[in-house]
Structure 1
Amino acid sequence: MGISYRLSHSLLLSVFCLAVLATESFGIDYLLDGEWKFQPVQVADFTVGEDERAKTNSAKDLADSEWESIQVPGYWDQPAGGWPWSSPRNKGGPHPKHDGEAWYRHRFTVPENRFPEEASGKGFHATLRFESVSAQASVWLNGIFVGRHLGAFGPFEVNVTDALLRNQPNVLSIRVRDKTAFYSSKTDAPPASSSRIPLGFDSNVGGIRGSVSVHIGPKARILDLAASTDSESATVEVAVSSEAIGNSSLVLELTEKSTGKRIEVGEGKPIGAVTVKSGVHRVRLRDFPPDSPPKSWSPEAPNLYRLTAKLMGVSGSLDVAETDIGFRSFHAGDGQFLLNDRPYFLLGAGSPPHYDLPGEEVMRSHLSQLKEAGVRAVRFAYEPPTERWLSLCDEIGLLAWVEGPLSVEEGTYDFANADLVRTASAEMKELARRYKNHPSLGVWTIGSGNLRNLSEKKSRGEASKALRAIAAEMRKIDRDAIVLPESDSRG
């Protein structure tokens, strides 16, 4: 799963609804979810030039009190209810008929004492983290443009070190363009046929789809924490910033989640405590004590472990990253699936209502009822789920089949379109990097039904080439899952 930083209880600061997710001297995450300001851009607004509109709406001193309120995460045009499994509290988005562009603004303050001790002068690093924004996000902080991202499903980060204010109100402004901005609406053809981006289940929805947070820490920091496992061992990779090389050490800890028991590997010592000599540190976790071998993960026994990486400086912790892992292997051979090297039948069902962005209660209830009914695998069809779905699958014990957003639900794609293929590849690799530690994630597919629905031999060839190339790139990132070019190809 995506790495997280050591969490404590949420703390509400003043009127800015700033949740503090960590409270020690190392890296700190602030969750920015909740009530934001929102303004849709109407057709008449396009009489004003794009640059002028951006300058006005991103200004730190803009009076936005008349803007309406909206909840983040969520789509502005989320359909209300409608599905039998949706939460009755889902009232839908405030603008179900609005297509195109909208602006979001949010104010937050980071107190001086929340910066790391090493943050004198410019000795800190700050990053805005987005789980996903549909479909393009342009980001300003305090009137300073800090980054842009295209793709409705992939996680991304922007560096805000030079724009973030300490102990003063910060104003975050985001211009969001929905999926309709990236395909032609001037023809009767299905949206996918002219789209420059993968559309997933719904070709219209727009908004801040996932959580938003700001991470503040020293420049010497952990960039990524990944674990590739089998049923008896794990290979851990910790990527660090250049400032950490030669000036810090790494310590790894492994804890059984169900009991809180610390698992010692080799003479009862913490794993690691080694000087960081390169940008990526690798270690193999094996040779467990005879009385506490790792418990493998499966739907029948979803054993989880918390892997913690601590980056240590002279005066103590600089940064801490954590991820949940499961010891399991999953692959296919001789016409069958093999889980932990034993034949395993995927008693599956699909699809959960992940494209509706339901709340935690609905998500947990839906997956728990599937498990109680005897289901052991779920297919997240048409588009990838948010990460919380996979965390619940890890915990409850369900293998996950995740489809990429190149689905024929909105028509067949033009795989000769280089922009489409480039965006799809980047987005799927972003997702693979974020989700790769989830033991429940057993199968990736890049798309669904494209080869079956393309009639021309040339078009099928272009699609097959593109899908296979993306799958090959993803296999380099997620080595523990089966990665297929397509679902439902039927030859």
Structure 2
Amino acid sequence: MTNQPRAEYPRPQFVRDSWINLNGEWEFEFDDDRVGSKEKWHLGNRKLYKTIQVPFAFQSKLSGIGSNEFHDVVWYRRDLTLPDDFQNKRILLHFGAVDYEASVWVNGVLVAKHEGGHTPFHADITDALQAGTNKLVVKAVDYSKDVTLPRGKQYWHTDSASIFYTRTTGIWQTVWMEAVSNDGYLDKVKITPDIDEKQVEFQFFIQGSDSNAKQQMKVEISFNGELVSEDTYGMRSSSGARKIRLNDFNDHGLGAWWTPEHPNLYDVTFTLLVDNKAVDVVTSYFGMRKVSIEDGKLCLNNRPYFLKMVLDQGYFPDGNLTPPSDEAIKEDVELTKAMGFNGARKHQKLEDPRFLYWCDKLGLVVWSEAANAYEYTEKYVSRFTNEWIASIDRDYNHPSIIAWVPLNESWGVPNIQIDKLQQQHALTMYHLTKSLDPMRPVVSNDGWELVKTDLFTIHDYEWREGVLEERYSSSDKAVHAMPANRRLFVEGFPYEGQPILVTEFGGIAYKKSEWEGWGYSGADNDEDFEKKLRAVIRPLLNSGVVQGYCYTQLTDVEQEINGLLTYDRKPKIPVEIIKAINDRK
């Protein structure tokens, strides 16, 4: 295969040395008549007559196809040849994300079926492999016009419009393989920091080991290259937990707590030993940090922390949902920080793990938000719940994530104000999230019509400075406002003193490229844009009631020109000016 785009390691918080990237050119074909299964394309004997650059969806330019037409059944095919160091090992095949349903065959053997357009899956393909060349086939099925599907910003019409963008069908995150030992391997580690007790807890999950064998887990933790803890202990089953005390930090700015200003990370190496032999080595990292709400204040590491976030849609001009490169991901984080923001609200998208890696490493807090459906059905509930559980499982360990947002603006629950079923669904998502992760706050329905929630979040695109000053002069005025002509809380779930944040505002349209589009208000030139930015940000900084904000938005996206950057990531005014505004200067 030629040309392997997106060749960086795809799972940076759980790294093994023995792996192969499968991105690049694959055979590809649309199956509009749905004959592929009947004609047994999954056997891999039939050539597919188009080519595509994986991991880019066919709707994107970088895929080499770039079509907006509806093709809801697509097939992929490529050959696999294992390198020498993969021999006599178990082989795991990974998919970062396939939208929406995926079936995977190796040499005609079905090795995986998966539902969920944003979540990863993998399969042990060892028993399906043969000597020499192997045939890998993937069938992806999308439901482009189904508005009950968890879809995020993907539009169900041919062309983008309003707040909706180009669809994504099929593979859109990295495909890769890794080799693990036949004697057992580490499937997952759940990492929970506790700065109050000065300790970190590791929960280990092992696959493929002999229950009669002697199992041990060795944990080595280092900071800035210096070993701070080393521990080896027995594992009597396929799972276990260990708490390790860390004594090398304190609360005087001298220690190793993680913040956006000081993104301190510990490195950790996990070694699985079976009968005293090292059979698996995984490297990872973690951050010691705490998110809490104390006396109505949102706190980071036990101190009030004012959030200055930007709404980030995670779309790119040529890749759509798929970033063109790891450098492009890093650049978005660097530009966000350069403009004086300390966080990003990823909007309607479970972002590539590489984005979270750079947020962890460079220092940017993240609100992780699900890709929502648009209408409510029982089938939607099942699909969405399963995908949300998988999302939390994938990203639990990232220190940058400080809040979970399962629902946004009543998407998927449009009648939540009066429909008890939809209210119960939102409540369920809140409590389900808390049951999976008790250490982060949860927003039940970001923007308006909130049920039980840890943070009281408001979407407000008012552009007049005086109106914003008055509206956010007291908690009572803020929570009883109706900036989108929507009640901010559902009847029966009144405001209970939660921290108040304005998590969408601004959206000032300013045309600085060839793109035509719209925004929530407009600016005529650089000076006018700066003036209007100050007019919407200043009242929130000075409020005394508002504990954080999220400006709409980081970049222009397709028909929207309300970004601080153009779609190709060029600042509309100098980033230093935007930083000065965020810094009250």
Shift of residue 488, structure 1, vs aligned partner: 1.1
**In structure 2, how many angstroms separate the alpha carbons of the residues matched to 1:242 and 1:140?**
22
Residue range with higher mean Cα deviation, 353-362 or 330-339 = 353-362
Find the residue that maps to 2:226 and give its secondary structure.
coil
Rate the CA distance shift 1:159–1:331 in 2: closer, same or farther, 3 A.
Answer: same
Q: Report whether the alignment pairs 1:218 with 2:181.
A: yes
- How far does the alpha carbon of each residue in 1:245-264 deviate from its partner, in whole angstroms, 9 at most, with x for none? 443211001122xx322223
Please give the per-residue CA displacement for 1:463-491, whole angstroms capped at 9, x wherever unaligned.
Answer: 22123223323333334322232211221
Alpha-carbon distance between aligned partners in 2 of 1:400 and 1:483, rounded to the nearest angstrom: 13
Please name the residue that 1:413 is paired with. 375
2:42 matches 1:58: yes
* CA RMSD of superposed structures (Å): 2.9
What CA distance in whole angstroms lies between the structure 1 residues aligned with 2:225 and 2:202? 20
2:216 matches 1:249 = yes
What displacement does 1:437 show? 0.7
Which of 110, 116, 121 is residue 82 of structure 2 equivalent to?
Answer: 110
User: Which residue of 2 is the match for residue 11 of structure 1?
Assistant: none
CA contact (8 A) 1:198 1:420 kept: yes
Partner residue in 1 for 2:22: 32
1:346 to 2:318 alignment: no
Residue by residue over 1:98-144, the C-alpha shift from the partner in whole angstroms, topping out at 9 and shown as x without a partner, is: 331111112121134423xxx4xxxx533221111011111111111
Cα deviation for residue 312 of structure 1 reads 1.3
- Please say if 1:324 is aligned against 2:285: yes
Task: After TM superposition, list the pairs within 5 Å mapping 1:303-382 onto structure 2.
Answer: 303-314=264-275, 316-354=277-315, 356-359=321-324, 360-382=326-348
Deviation readout 1:386-435 (Å, 9 max, x if unpaired): 1111111111111101111116xxxx421xx2221111111111111111
Partner SS state of residue 39, structure 1? strand
| Cα 1:336/1:327, change in 2 over 3 Å | same
Secondary structure, in 3 states, of the residue corresponding to 2:177? strand
Structure 2 partner of 1:9 = none
**Structure 2: 5+ residue stretches without partners:** 156-166, 449-487, 490-585
**Which residues of 2 match residues 251-290 of structure 1 at below 5 A?**
251-256=218-223, 259-264=224-229, 270-271=230-231, 273-288=232-247
Range moving further from structure 2, 346-355 or 393-402: 346-355
Q: What is the deviation of 1:381?
A: 1.0
Structure-2 residue corresponding to 1:478: 437
Structure whose alpha-carbon radius of gyration is higher? 2
How many corresponding residue pairs? 422
Q: 1:315 to 1:214 in 2, by over 3 A?
A: same
Secondary structure, in 3 states, of the residue corresponding to 1:413?
coil
Alignment match of 2:398 (pick from 429, 438, 455): 438
TM-score by length of 2: 0.67
Q: Is the 8 A contact 2:201 2:241 kept in 1?
A: yes
Correspondence for 1:141: 106
Residues 138-158 of structure 1 deviation map (CA, whole Å, 9 limit, x = unaligned): 111111112211111011122
Specify which of 338, 344, 351 is matched with residue 385 of structure 1: 351
2:171 matched residue in structure 1: 208
SS of the equivalent of 1:321 reads strand
Q: Which residue of 2 aligns with 1:176?
A: 140
The 5 A counterparts of 1:12-51 are: 28-42=18-32, 45-46=33-34, 48=35, 51=37
Secondary structure, counterpart of 1:356 in structure 2 = coil
Distance 1:452 1:396 in 2: 34
Q: CA deviation at 1:17?
A: 6.8
Distance 1:63 1:358 in 2: 29
Higher mean Cα deviation, 297-306 or 275-284?
A: 275-284
Match of 2:122 among 157, 161, 170: 157
C-alpha deviations, 1:150-175, integer Å up to 9, x for none?
A: 11101112232311234x11211001
| Distance in 2 between residues matched to 1:214 and 1:202, nearest whole Å | 29
**Aligned partner letter, 2:338:** E
Q: Are residues 228 and 244 of structure 1, via their aligned partners in 2, closer, same or farther at CA, if it must alter by over 3 Å?
A: farther
In 2: Cα distance, 1:279 partner to 1:401 partner? 32
Residues 76-155 of structure 1 mapped to structure 2, 5 A cutoff:
76-78=58-60, 93-115=65-87, 119=88, 124-155=89-120
The match for 1:87 is none
How far off its partner does 1:30 sit? 2.2
Kindly provide the amino acid, as one letter, of the partner of residue 181 in structure 2: P
SS at match of 2:236: coil
CA offsets 1:432-454 (integer angstroms, 9 cap, x no match): 11111100001111121117973
- Cα separation, 1, equivalents of 2:66 and 2:247: 54
Shift of 1:278: 1.8
Contact 1:20 1:30 in 2 (8 A): no
1:214-262 C-alpha deviation (Å, 9 max, x unpaired) = 2322241111112101333211111112625443211001122xx3222
CA distance in 1, matches of 2:248, 2:241: 21
Q: Name the counterpart of 1:267.
A: none
The residue type equivalent to 2:365 in the other structure is L
Instruction: Report the counterpart of residue 363 of structure 2 in structure 1.
Output: 397
Cα distance in 2, alignment partners of residues 387 and 71 from structure 1:
20
Amino acid at match of 1:151: G
Which amino acid is the alignment partner of residue 111 of structure 2?
A: V
Question: Does the CA-based 8 Å contact 2:150-2:380 persist in structure 1?
Answer: yes
Report the 3-state secondary structure (helix = DSSP H, G, I; strand = E; otherwise coil) of the residue aligned with 2:269: strand
Identical aligned pairs, as a percentage?
23
How far the C-alpha of 1:178 sits from its partner, in A, is 2.1
Q: Which has the higher contact order (CA 8 A, sep 6+)?
A: 1
Unaligned runs of 5+ in 1: 1-13, 81-89, 184-191, 265-269
SS at match of 1:350: strand
Cα deviation, residue 373, structure 1: 1.6
Q: CA separation of 1:175/1:335 partners in 2, compared to 1, >3 Å: closer, same or farther?
A: same
1:474 maps to a residue whose letter is T
What CA distance in whole angstroms lies between the structure 1 residues aligned with 2:283 and 2:185? 13
Q: Secondary structure at the match of 1:243?
A: coil
Counterparts of 1:20 and 1:144, CA distance in 2 = 29
Give the whole-Å Cα distance in 2 for the aligned partners of 1:92 and 1:372: 33
What residue identity is the alignment partner of 1:221? Y
Q: What is the SS of the residue equivalent to 2:104?
A: strand
Aligned residue among 438, 443, 449 for 2:409: 449
Conserved 8 A contact 2:28-2:74: yes
> Given residue 367 of structure 1, which amino acid in structure 2 is its aligned partner?
V
1:426 equivalent in alignment to 2:386: yes
Q: Check whether the contact 2:57–2:63 (CA below 8 A) recurs between aligned residues.
A: no
1:235-246 superposed matches below 5 A: 235-241=201-207, 243-245=209-211, 246=213
Contact 2:369/2:404 (<8 A) preserved = yes
Q: Residue 7 of structure 1 corresponds to which residue in structure 2? A: none
Q: Structure 1 length normalisation: TM-score?
A: 0.79
Q: Distance in 2 between matches of 1:334 and 1:69?
A: 58
